[in-house]
Amino acid sequence: MRVFSPSPRPEPWASRRRRITQPWMLPFVKLERGWEWLAYFLSHWKFLEVLEYMSSLSILFAVLFYFSESGDRLKQKHYQAWQVINTAQGKGGSGGRLEALQELNVDRIPLVGVDVSGAFLQGAKLANARLLRANFNSADLRDSDFHLADFTDADLKSANFRASNLTKANFRRADLSGSDLGEADLTDANLAGANLDDADLSGANLAGVQWREIAGARNLTIEGVKNAPPGFVDWAKQKGALTSSNVGEKSK
C-alpha cells in the first residue's frame, strides 16, 4: 500500500519570482505553480486519502474471496472431468478422457466404477489410481503407468496393457481374460482370484507376483516370461497355459 503523504505548501510567489532570470521561463513557472497548488489542496483532502485506503482493502478482499472459492473451483474442475468421461462412454478414441482421468487421479479422486471400455488411453499416467469395478474392456492402455493401482473386481477383458508398468497393482478378482500383458512389468502384482484365460503374458516380468489363487489360466500364453516365481510355470501348464512348444496348437 502506498504511504499517503500531503504535499508541502508552495513557496510565496515573490520569492519564487526573484529566482526567474529568463523572461521566457515565466509562463512555464506559472503553469508549474498552478499544479503545485492543485496538488497541495488535493493532498489535504481526506476523501482522497480514504479512497486510497479503500483501494488497498479491495485488493485484500479480492485475494480472500479468491481463496475462499478455491474449493468450488476444484469441484467444478472435477465435475467437468467426469462430464468428459461420461459423455465419451462407449466411444473409441480418447475424447479427452485420458487427460480427465489423469487430472482426477492427481487430485486423488477415486475412479471407482469408471467406464472407459474401448477407449484409446495409451501412455496413461494413473499410478495409485483406485479403479475398483472399473470397465476397461478392450481399452488400449499400452505403455501406461498403473503402479500401485487397484483393479479389484474390474472388467479388463481384452485390454491391451503391453509394456505397461503394473508393479504392485492389485488385480484381485479382476477379469483379465483375453488381455495383452506382453512385456508388462507385474512385479509384486496381486493376481489372486483373477481370470487370465486366453491372456498373453509373453515376456512379462513376474518377479514376486502373487499367483497361487489365480482363478483361470486356460490358454494363457507364458512364452518368455521373466523372473517367474517358483512353481508358476509348471502350475500354469497344468491349467492349460501355452508356451513356445505348444503355442502353435492354439491357432489350429
Q: Is 14 buried (19+), middle (13-18) or exposed (0-12) by CB count in 10 A?
A: exposed
- pLDDT (average), residues 198-227: 96
Domains and CATH numbers, the chain: 13-68 (no CATH), 72-252 (2.160.20.80)
CB 228 within 8 A of CB 206: yes
d(CA 108, CA 96): 19
Give the model's confidence band at 195: pLDDT under 50 very low, under 70 low, under 90 confident, else very high: very high
Q: Is 150 left (phi over 0), alpha (psi -120 to 50) or beta?
A: beta
Give the model's confidence band at 247: pLDDT under 50 very low, under 70 low, under 90 confident, else very high: very low
Q: Could you report the per-residue pLDDT of 77-86, keeping only the tens digit for each?
A: 899 999 999 9
d(CA 137, CA 116): 8
Residue corresponding to grid cell 486423488: 108
Longest dimension (CA), the chain: 116
Give the range among 94-98, 172-176, 181-185, 212-216 with minimum mean pLDDT. Answer: 94-98
d(CA 8, CA 239): 98
The x, y and z cell numbers of residue 178, run together, are 483375453
CB 155 within 8 A of CB 117: yes
Non-local (6+) Cβ contacts of 56 within 8 A are: 1, 2
User: In this structure, what are the phi and psi dihedrals at residue 113, rounded to the nearest 5 degrees?
Assistant: 75, 10
pTM over 0.75: no
Q: Could you report the per-residue pLDDT of 43-81, keeping only the tens digit for each?
A: 666 666 666 667 776 777 676 665 665 667 788 889 999
